[in-house]
């Protein structure tokens, strides 16, 4: 979503009031950092979408 929206990691971090490093860590396959519920709420506001858009419609098997 971030790249499709044309936002840099820095721009997203500023909009979410989190560190640039944390955004990079979440996006890196080499780190275990994940967004929490508060982060997802902020992401929904930044991308003008619903909180539920971050979850699959059907559960994983």
Other CB atoms within 10 A of residue 12 CB: 22
> For residue 17, what are its two tokens?
């009031």
Q: What is the pLDDT of residue 26?
A: 98
Query: CA-CA distance, 61 to 35, in Å (whole number)?
Result: 23
What's phi and psi for 2, nearest 5 deg? -60, -50
Q: What is the pLDDT of residue 22?
A: 98
Domain ranges within the chain, ordered by starting residue: 9-50
> What dihedral angle (degrees, nearest 10) is formed by the CA atoms of 55, 35, 37, 60?
30
What's the predicted TM-score (pTM) here?
0.85
End-to-end CA distance of the chain: 25
Report mean pLDDT in 10-residue bins for the chain, 61 residues: 95 98 97 96 97 89 77
């Amino acid at each position: 979503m971030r790249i499709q929206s044309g936002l840099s990691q820095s721009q997203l971090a500023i909009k979410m009031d989190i560190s640039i490093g944390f955004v990079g860590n979440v996006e890196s396959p080499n780190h275990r950092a994940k967004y929490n519920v508060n982060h997802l709420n902020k992401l929904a506001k930044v991308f003008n979408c619903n909180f539920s858009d971050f979850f699959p419609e059907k559960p994983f098997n």
